[in-house]
Copies of this chain bind each other. A is one copy, B any other.
Amino acid sequence: MDLSPIIHNRLCLYLRSLRRLQEEDVHKISSQGLAERFQLSAPQIRKDLAQLGEFGIRGVGYDVDELTCRLSSILRLDRVHPVVMVGMGNLGRALARYLGFNHGAFRVVAGVDKDPDKVGLQVAGFQVRPSSELKRVVQEHDIEVGVLTVPPDAAQGNYNRLVEAGVSGVLNFSPARVQAVPEVPLKDIDLRIYLEQLAYFLPESDSEKELVSSAS
């Protein structure tokens, strides 16, 4: 089975919604109910889910727990994936805390930094190790995912080192283009895009506003 990114994304949304329902002790839900509750499209939910198998009960709806299980499994979110942060600056430290809370599917178990001043710092339950020990760290913890939060010019080198160390996937938060090998998928995240998206909905700029240098 192969999920298009667009469907995959929706399934993640459904899963989150279902988990919210679990917390509220809701055990059965119809596509209609899900749609209204979380502003989704009922026919689309049915189509997406039907594509993966017959999870629903006609006349009743879906079993929240069962569907959560099945989706978790399909999305590979039913097991813990150990994560290492590469680069323990502010962003690295922030994400180490922030990303750990994905219903336990990811656990940031280690972090490395080149800067000796950062080595030894206690962050989100682990101690920062020197970059030189990356490979050992990955092997010690069976780490599957590396998260790059290093300066742009260090991104490629650290991607390579992560590949070498044996991770299966890399998330890159530094705004640098990194060349990836097919065996270790790389996902680039450019946080600037969100501001850019928002900018489009900002009011027309006054002529008195400051111009940006490069646009003149």
Residues of A within 8 A of B (CB): 3, 5, 8-9, 12, 19, 22, 68-69, 72-73, 75-81, 83, 89-91, 93-95, 97-99, 101-106, 144-145, 168-169, 171, 175, 185, 187, 189, 191-205, 209-216
**Copies of the chain in the assembly:** 2
Q: How far is the CB of A114 from chain B (nearest CB, A)?
A: 17
Given A79-B209, A145-B195, A194-B171: A200 and B8 interface contact (C-beta under 8 Å): yes
Q: Is the CB of A197 within 8 A of B8?
A: yes
Q: How far is the CB of A106 from chain B (nearest CB, A)?
A: 5
Q: Which residue from B90, B99, B213 sits with its C-beta under 8 Å from A93?
A: B90
A sample of 27 inter-chain contacts (CB < 8 A) reads A3-B200, A8-B197, A8-B200, A12-B196, A72-B214, A75-B196, A76-B200, A76-B202, A78-B215, A79-B205, A81-B195, A89-B94, A101-B192, A102-B195, A102-B196, A103-B212, A105-B195, A105-B196, A106-B192, A144-B202, A168-B201, A168-B203, A169-B201, A171-B194, A185-B198, A185-B201, A187-B198
Q: How far is the CB of A153 from chain B (nearest CB, A)?
A: 14
Q: How far is the CB of A69 from chain B (nearest CB, A)?
A: 6
* Distance, CA A19 to CA B213, complexed state (A): 12
Q: Is the CB of B105 within 8 A of A199?
A: yes
Q: Is the CB of A97 within 8 A of B90?
A: yes
Report the nearest B residue to A169, measured CB to CB: B198
Q: Is the CB of A80 within 8 A of B212?
A: yes
Which B residues lie within 8 Å of A90 (CB)? Answer: 90-91, 93-94, 97
Report the nearest B residue to A144, measured CB to CB: B202
Report the nearest B residue to A189, measured CB to CB: B194
